[in-house]
Amino acid sequence: MKISLAAAILAVAVVLAIAAPTFFSFANQRDLVLANMPVLIVALGMVLVILTGQIDISVGSQFAICSVAAGVFAHMGLPTPLAGAAACLAGAAMGAINGALVAYVGIPSIVVTLATMVALRDGLRWVTQGAWVQDLPPDFQWFGQSQTASEIITIVCAAALMVGVSWGLRNLAAGRVVYATGSDPNAARLMGIDPKRVVFAVFVITGALTGFAAVFNAVRFHQIPSNAGMGLELKVIAAAVVGGVAISGGRGTVGGTMLGLLLLGVIGPALTFLGFSAYWERAIEGGIILAAVSLDALRVRSRSHAGIVSAQRA
């Protein structure tokens, strides 16, 4: 899976290198990376959620609220780090609502997060009346640093988070517990794990990470739109799925997701550079997602066939 993904990315890169070498200009690369940073950070949370067999389609709405919250707190005069922390807390709180409804009330996560997606987005629209947060204090933008310094901070933080989550999933007991919960919640329970707590926790973590991503995104602009993060959930889930994270839970890695994100991230700009209409972007993304899940389904079926046959004992 990862090898075919890497090959696909390489193929796109080679085509671009020949047809549009300017794609690899430093400025373009930097823009591309920065634009994808929020997606990357939210994807780290989404991987955890999907690994436990759940899904969170409300991250886009959470992102919008966290962005606006960060701006409003900064506007109120809170120092930028505190405003950022408050935004993360807001994200964690929204994640806790999702998590509690899924884990402890027992509502399917697709239903819970569909409801919170709509409710949070429209609640925000109602509160802000669609207005953007303007007149941000000067030390908010770029964290009060130079633009370059701020960009470096962003990339370093995102990279640290990525390495941290990836390493944690492999080396921490908590990571094992996430995989076990997603693979087989009953077996996990019999091993002394509390699957409900695990599910609750991954939603909270995803909320907090979404807040984090929102802050890093907000500081790049003069003003904060109240409709930020539209469609973010799709990008994030697509990256995870293309990266080989099983939607049924229990299987997948951060590394794979990052490759998925990379492929989906370069496809759009690549099309533009090659002179295709931007309208093709979404269609091709959809095609890639279908191809990835189909390949995965075929692989799982061929592998588990023998097991199903031998299990048929009355």
Shortest Å distance, C-beta 189 to another protein: 6
For residue 302, state whether it binds another protein (rule: CB under 8 A): no
Q: Of 184 and 281, which CB lies nearer to another protein in the complex structure?
A: 184
Figure out which of the listed residues 14, 191, 291, 297 binds another protein, where binding follows CB under 8 A.
Answer: 191
**C-alpha to C-alpha distance for 214 and 228, rounded to whole angstroms:** 9
Figure out which of the listed residues 184, 220, 280, 293 binds another protein, where binding follows CB under 8 A.
Answer: 184
Stretch that binds another protein, among 139-147, 170-178, 271-279, 289-297 (CB under 8 A): 170-178
Q: Of 60 and 250, which CB lies nearer to another protein in the complex structure?
A: 250
**C-alpha to C-alpha distance for 22 and 19, rounded to whole angstroms:** 9
| Residue 64 and residue 228 in contact, taking contact as beta carbons nearer than 8 Å | yes
Identify which of 59, 69, 153 has the alpha carbon closest to the alpha carbon of residue 109: 59
| Residue 37 and residue 157 in contact, taking contact as beta carbons nearer than 8 Å | no
For residue 173, state whether it binds another protein (rule: CB under 8 A): yes
| Residue 231 and residue 225 in contact, taking contact as beta carbons nearer than 8 Å | no
Stretch that binds another protein, among 35-43, 135-143, 174-182, 234-242 (CB under 8 A): 174-182
For residue 172, state whether it binds another protein (rule: CB under 8 A): yes
90 phi and psi, to 5 degrees? -60, -40
For residue 310, state whether it binds another protein (rule: CB under 8 A): yes
199 phi and psi, to 5 degrees? -65, -45
For residue 200, state whether it binds another protein (rule: CB under 8 A): no
Report the site for another protein in 91-130 (rule: CB under 8 A): none
| Residue 205 and residue 216 in contact, taking contact as beta carbons nearer than 8 Å | no
For residue 307, state whether it binds another protein (rule: CB under 8 A): yes
Q: Of 196 and 220, which CB lies nearer to another protein in the complex structure?
A: 196
Q: Is the dihedral of CA 73, 74, 76, 77 positive or negative?
A: positive
What DSSP state is assigned to residue 253? Answer: -
Instruction: List interacting residues with another protein (CB under 8 A).
Output: 171-174, 176-177, 179-180, 183-184, 186-192, 194, 250-251, 304, 307, 309-314
